[in-house]
Amino acid sequence: MRIQKIAFNEPSPFELYLPGADGLLPLICLTPILGRLLFFEDLLMERHFARFFASHGFAAALIDRPIFEFNPAYGLEQIQRYLEESILRNEKVLDELLRRKEIDPQKIGSFGISFGAVLNSLWVAADFRLKAHVFALVGGNIPEILITSRDPLMRSYLKAIIKSVGMEGKKLKEAFEKVIRLDPLKIASSLPRETVLMMLGLFDRVIPFRYGRLLWRALGEPETLFLPLGHYPSLLAIPFTKWKALEFFKKKLGV
């Protein structure tokens, strides 16, 4: 199938992948991971999923993002602002997409991995235009994830934060809880469990599995794939997980 890729820069950058098909198209909105995969171009993995969905009759919108960098001048509140700005950016992109005549406004889903899944869970809980969601390698309780993650990027953030605010451990956790008002655990009850497919790595050390399980329970134990892998080794399961995601979207969006 011929796939058309269109890049947009204003008001928010995103890439739209369209199949060579007539009629209204179901849409999948993809939110990227927080950082970049080492030795790979940015958004490489997300573009792979976008092209895959487009090759099976979906429009796929890959929403770009500025990579977060902790600035000591702005304090802990910048984490909350980054979340808020990211959600607003996704909403604006969806507004733009729905102006296109080929998009079916009744058949829209979200797909995210890692931070992309955390952000999507916050976004779709308040944006009822999206009807089906795949959250991969996700978790709830952002303050504890920030403190316990073994990801090198997250560790670098934590090191910079501790140096900036002069606190760590329990005191830092309490400070995070005061400023980070958005958390998947707080909004989970607003998402119908039947609209969610989760994918969790049993040996995940970036978003530790216990926080994925917390969110799974808060969401009402939705359909879930438990992968016997860690966070980045779960990339090995992409040939399997992309088909499971496609199957889920087709079923839930009535494609």
Q: Are 60 and 16 within 8 A, CB to CB?
A: yes
Whole-number Å distance between alpha carbons of 138 and 206: 10
Segments forming the whole domain that contains residue 117: 3-141+184-253
Tens digit of each residue's pLDDT (9 = 90 or more) over 72-117: 999 999 999 999 999 999 999 999 999 999 999 999 999 999 999 9
Find the Cα–Cα–Cα–Cα dihedral 78, 82, 84, 89, rounded to 10°.
Answer: 150
Residue that the structure tokens 């058949």 belong to: 107
Residue 49: give its domain's CATH number. Answer: 3.40.50.1820
pLDDT at 35: 83
Residue 1 in this model has a pLDDT that exceeds 70: no
SS (H, E, C) the chain: CCEEEEEECCCCCEEEEEECCCCCEEEEEEECCCCCCCCCCCCHHHHHHHHHHHCCCCEEEEECCCCCCCCHHHCCHHHHHHHHHHHHHHHHHHHHHCCCCCEEEEEEEEEEECHHHHHHHHHHCCCCCCCEEEEECCCCCHHHHHHHCCCHHHHHHHHHHHHHHCCCHHHHHHHHHHHCCCCHHHHHHHCCHHHEEEEEECCCCCCCHHHHHHHHHHCCCCEEEEECCCCCHHHHHHHHHHHHHHHHHHHHHCC
pLDDT at 8: 84
In a domain, 177, yes or no: no
In a domain, 153, yes or no: no
Tens digit of each residue's pLDDT (9 = 90 or more) over 74-86: 999 999 999 999 9
Whole-number Å distance between alpha carbons of 66 and 94: 18
In a domain, 62, yes or no: yes
Q: Taking residues 140-165, what's their average pLDDT?
A: 94
Tens digit of each residue's pLDDT (9 = 90 or more) over 226-238: 999 999 999 999 9
Instruction: Count up the domains in the chain and report the number.
Output: 1
Lowest mean pLDDT among 27-41, 148-162, 199-213: 27-41
Q: What is the mean pLDDT of the chain?
A: 94
- Amino acid letter for position 244: K
pLDDT at 14: 95
Whole-number Å distance between alpha carbons of 186 and 39: 36
Find the Cα–Cα–Cα–Cα dihedral 63, 66, 68, 73, rounded to 10°.
Answer: -140
Using the CB atoms, write b or e for 7-39: b if 16+ within 10 Å.
ebeeebebbbbbbeeeeebbbbbbbbbbbeeee
In a domain, 199, yes or no: yes
In a domain, 178, yes or no: no
Q: Are 200 and 230 within 8 A, CB to CB?
A: no
In a domain, 173, yes or no: no
pLDDT at 204: 97
In a domain, 32, yes or no: yes
pLDDT at 100: 94
Residue 2 in this model has a pLDDT that exceeds 80: no
The residue ranking higher by pLDDT, 23 or 216, is 216
Read off the pLDDT band of 54 (50, 70, 90). Answer: very high
The residue ranking higher by pLDDT, 129 or 8, is 129
pLDDT at 46: 96
Q: Give percent of the chain above pLDDT 70.
A: 99
pLDDT at 21: 77
Query: Helix 238-253 vs helix 44-54: angle between axes, to the nearest 10 degrees?
Result: 50
Read off the pLDDT band of 20 (50, 70, 90). Answer: confident
In a domain, 174, yes or no: no
pLDDT at 242: 97
